[in-house]
A and B are shown apart, each in its own frame.
Chain A
């Protein structure tokens, strides 16, 4: 399924009646069966974008369409074809692993035996067999990530929205989870929108890297990543990877500098006002 984002603008009400433009006429076609990584400095609206695509936030103006392979817009409400994996996971702390994973089917009224069978199979496939009855707080950070991933995958939605899901992990666990995601992608070929601020991660995972500008968020450049699949971490050392990294790095550095200048200016004007 293609995700077509058309002239999307999101404006928040800021302090003292000011307006913060989080997204400014953002347009892009996220192609079916591909991983698009949204890369940009903090506050560039990349999380806002995936939340709008997932039907969780309402945009101020503009539209998001989901198109089937024949480029017909699907009639279902926005969010019905996608599922979100959250930055802070949002696991239900009172539910065991299996009950967290089976949450979606439970809400749809699937009988207990059936949803448990499906949940158990997914839990095993993300390497958590034996932890079905643990509570989230009894698991490590990486294991909790796997629960969140399984809880999203059980929905069998064609579009997976990932909002910096690995940002809080330590370096080793992050690598393992990236490989896990690549494996799942190679098996299922979902359409994935992956928000990150890590350049290496964006290039390693993505078919394209959408570099965004500092606030207000627009597209600065779309970098096509033509590294072969299946991807593996060894590619990070290749010459092609290095060239892509440099390109993305320079684009991002400009934007980070701009953000810092904006912040400094804002602080100065605040200081002048007081």
Chain B
């Protein structure tokens, strides 16, 4: 039987998983046999135990749910406003001129530095966390949308004109669809920063309003290192799932684009 060089065999396919298993096993062994204090580095087995307990008592689902709602509400607001402004910038030179200077001034600002101001303005409630995730996701989305609109294939625009499309039809039927791959790239970037900023905001202004950031910081403050690790694992897995979900949505909405 000949083996195609493109398709790895079972051993080759399980190699990445084996490497994770090996690191976890070494970690477990190091903690058990060298007596490392669990407040510095708890054993994977006890992290899993804590993770299980947090899932069982509902605290993980509660905090994760709150964080996800904040991320998605902020992201959705940023997507709607960012795409809208990006398209308007692409359609009107004057809108682009005005918006350009604001974006150039505000985009390089680390969004996390806005937290003190936002707390003064809107307090530490939901509005503050949603506003910070909206602001952070907004910029990559508007910039990518505008770039996609500007880079529309001039050949397609000429062809559409030749086939009788008027200026409005060219915008709606050619320029905007051809910007979709670029818009998706912006949405991916926006989602990434929205996750970061929501968790960070929960850590800083969160006090008692829950969320993964609050869970991390409150567990850390009382040296419940197992809970810190359990929360990190959940954040990593959920982050990966969100990325997969976005890629799936890309393929559904834009099957003509060569994804990945």
Contact = CB atoms under 8 A, between A and B. Distances in A.
A151 interface: yes
Contact of A104 (B156, B164, B178, B256): B164
A79 B257 CA distance: 32
B163 A104 contact: yes
B6 interface: no
A108 B180 CA distance: 25
A92 B177 contact: yes
Q: Which of the listed residues A54, A103, A136, A155 has the most CB atoms from chain B within 10 Å of its own CB?
A: A103
B177 A84 contact: no
A79 B255 CA distance: 33
Nearest to B157: A90
A137 interface: yes
Interface of A (DSSP majority class): loop
Q: How large is the interface on B (under 10, 10 to 19, 20 to 34, 35 or more residues)?
A: 20 to 34
A112 to B, nearest CB: 14
Interface in A45-76: 54-56
A51 to B, nearest CB: 8
Given A135-B255, A135-B256, A137-B256, A90 B166 contact: no
A93 interface: yes
A103 B160 contact: yes
A221 to B, nearest CB: 30
Contacts of B258: 137
B195 to A, nearest CB: 29
Contacts of B53: none
A83 B256 contact: no
B256 A103 contact: no
A88 interface: yes
Contacts of A151: 163
Contacts of B153: 90
Contacts of B256: 93-94, 135-137
Contacts of A56: 158, 161-162
Contacts of B180: 94
Interface in B175-217: 177-178, 180
Given A94-B256, A135-B255, A108 B159 contact: no
Contact of B174 (A79, A83, A92): A92
Contact of B163 (A55, A93, A94, A107): A107
A164 to B, nearest CB: 14
B1 to A, nearest CB: 32
A136 B161 CA distance: 20
Contacts of A79: 162
A88 B165 CA distance: 19
A90 B155 contact: yes
Count chain B CB atoms within 10 A of each CB in A79, A83, A93, A108 and give the residue with the most: A93
A86 interface: yes
Contact of A84 (B156, B162, B173): B162
B30 interface: no
A107 B164 contact: yes
A165 to B, nearest CB: 13
Given A83-B163, A92-B174, 10 more contacts: A56-B161, A79-B162, A84-B162, A86-B159, A90-B158, A90-B159, A92-B156, A93-B256, A104-B164, A108-B164
7 contacts: A55-B162, A83-B162, A90-B156, A94-B254, A106-B173, A107-B165, A107-B166
Interface of A: 54-56, 79, 83-84, 86, 88, 90, 92-94, 103-104, 106-108, 135-137, 151, 155
Closest A-B pairs by Cβ, 9 of them: A90-B159, A104-B163, A107-B165, A94-B256, A93-B256, A90-B155, A107-B164, A84-B162, A94-B177
